[in-house]
């Protein structure tokens, strides 16, 4: 277990526990190894997580006040997180 941005991360690789960022670093340095890196809660605030990881762009820290709240039916916090370039992109809800 590790604390990452105030959240608990559970990561395993090769039978040992790895910090999330260490697992990403090892994957890049040794491309013949495969690691499953799971982001829980962190990916909610990263609309372009693959780009951020590939380009080493800092992750947006989560704002607990915008995360899911029981009874809150507004899209606040789900569709207005900034992209890596600083802009919020509008979508039609389709992938």
Q: Is 28 exposed, middle or buried (0-12, 13-18, 19+ CB in 10 A)?
A: exposed
Q: Is residue 15 part of a domain?
A: yes
What's the pLDDT tens digit per position in 18-69? Answer: 444 444 544 555 555 555 555 555 556 677 777 777 777 787 777 767 766 6
Asked whether residue 94 is domain-assigned, the answer is no
Rounded CA separation 20/2 (Å): 8
Structural domain includes residue 10: yes
- The pLDDT score that the predictor gives to residue 60 is 77
At residue 47, the pLDDT reads: 72
Q: Is residue 24 part of a domain?
A: yes
Q: Give a yes or no: residue 17 inside a domain.
A: yes
Q: What is the pLDDT confidence band of residue 11, given thresholds at 50, 70 and 90?
A: very low
- Tell me if 32 is assigned to some domain: yes
pTM assigned to the model: 0.41
Does residue 10 surpass a pLDDT of 50? no
Number of Cβ within a 10 Å radius of residue 17: 13
Residue 13 has pLDDT above 50, yes or no: no
Contact in structure between 35 and 53 (CB atoms under 8 Å): no
The structural domain count of the chain equals: 1
Task: Decide if 50 is inside a domain.
Answer: no
Residue 34 covered by a domain: yes
Q: Range of 32's domain? A: 2-40
């Amino acid at each position: 277990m590790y604390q990452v941005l105030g959240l608990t991360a559970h990561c395993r690789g090769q039978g040992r526990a790895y910090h999330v960022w260490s697992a990403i670093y090892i994957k890049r340095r040794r491309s013949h190894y495969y690691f499953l890196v799971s982001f829980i809660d962190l990916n909610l605030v990263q609309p372009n997580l693959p780009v951020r990881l590939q380009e080493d762009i800092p992750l947006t820290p989560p704002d607990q006040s915008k995360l899911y709240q029981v009874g809150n039916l507004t899209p606040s916090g789900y569709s207005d997180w900034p992209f890596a370039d600083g802009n919020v992109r509008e979508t039609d809800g389709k992938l």
